A = this chain, B = another copy of it.
């Protein structure tokens, strides 16, 4: 038994320590493409805060890197193992400790699955809005680590806006409490927010106080078809400029529509170059749909289909939900990007991606949280075709450059991980990178927390 495993056993039960290489190898990757991963020395699955502290103390004593993991549904390699590391899976710390309707907070362990929390708070008439696509698998700890978003963000904001306070195990095993349980608070620097999106490089979240919202009325959805991306982009601009606040505003481009048609036989017309889905969960959503439908028509929509009820709304959303599977079926492998641009430049971005696809001879579908300007260009490629694989990887750089050129950011909600480390430096510039490095050193002077990620 290695010294590492022997020391870990002093504070963890044997069944919480995995060392079989076949098993530990299955913890090496999250869902990102093109991201290297090493082989973990060991995988630990603690059940208590004290066990996590023991893991960090052990790692500090032996100078062994620690890679925190949730459900590994991330798309930037942030949860990928590094060679010889301790993989620290928080999935077994999955208790919802408290739901408080008066103070509208939930207190949870990091391994709670997003959907489980959503269902639990719904029973109290409350909602935890952040809804990443992977919400049925992904954990709150992972959501906090990546600062994840979802469809609801256009109205309800991202994960960061729902994290009031954290318990964090620091690199040396100390337990830090940040933030508060109250609705407001400005006591000192905002360490809570610093941990959100830090991808496990500053500490390990073991408990979170989350803000909840009253459950909204059921949403009604409208679908609008457009003959050009420019028209769809114009509709998005008009909807937002007119002061509407949709609960979702999603866009699919022609490539995505075609893929969805092929897989689902939904029969969207071939002439449709862009499909816009707008949802409203206000008291009178039908009135909003009527107004937004008019704006879509004025922007050039070829067809506008407002749902009459929840069932019809779900049918319309089915097209959006089918996109990932549909795009995966095109070539077997996808690389899902995540670029956020000012929403006024959405059409330019879509046209730019289409040009990249043509130049690189690739199929790239774009789905976008259009209301936020947050796009997910999805590159479809055959990973066994070396040349196509290379072109796919090259298109990634093209897409990042395009996003920055349009005043956007290289990541709206998926995070940096290893995938976008170099591009992060380009977006931030050397002064910001230097400051961020120094902040990281404050929290992790030995460099054992998720090394090689983010910066």
Contacts and interface: CB of A to CB of B under 8 A. Distances in A.
Contacts of A215: 243
A416 B125 CA distance: 36
A123 interface: no
A177 B84 CA distance: 37
Contacts of A161: 157, 161
A219 interface: no
Contact of A343 (B103, B170, B245, B342): B103
Interface stretch (A33-41, A146-154, A356-364): A146-154
Interface string A279-318: 0001110000000000000000000000000000000000
Given A178-B432, A187-B424, A435-B442, 19 more contacts: A100-B344, A101-B240, A102-B237, A103-B343, A126-B243, A177-B429, A180-B408, A182-B340, A184-B369, A186-B197, A186-B414, A187-B410, A188-B428, A188-B432, A188-B433, A189-B194, A190-B193, A215-B243, A283-B283
A176 B410 CA distance: 18
A267 interface: no
A399 to B, nearest CB: 15
A443 interface: yes
Contact of A442 (B190, B371, B442): B442
Contacts of A438: 442
Which size bracket describes the interface of A in this complex? 35 or more
Nearest to A435: B442
Contacts of A283: 282-284
A339 to B, nearest CB: 9
Nearest to A101: B241
A65 interface: no
Contacts of A196: 190
Interface of A: 100-104, 125-126, 146-147, 149, 153-154, 157-158, 160-161, 170, 174, 176-178, 180-191, 193-194, 196-198, 202, 213-215, 237, 240-241, 243-245, 282-284, 340-344, 369, 371-374, 407-416, 420, 424, 427-429, 431-433, 435-436, 438-440, 442-443, 454-455
Contact of A154 (B183, B343, B442, B443): B183
Contacts of A202: 189
A241 B416 contact: no
A432 B245 contact: no
Contacts of A435: 176, 191, 442-443
B243 A408 contact: no
B186 A415 contact: yes
Contacts of A282: 283
Contacts of A343: 102-103, 182-183
A431 B180 CA distance: 16
Given A194-B190, A415-B186, A180 B409 contact: yes
A342 B181 contact: yes
Which 9 interchain pairs have the tightest Cβ spacing?
A214-B243, A147-B186, A193-B193, A183-B372, A185-B409, A184-B412, A102-B344, A438-B442, A182-B340
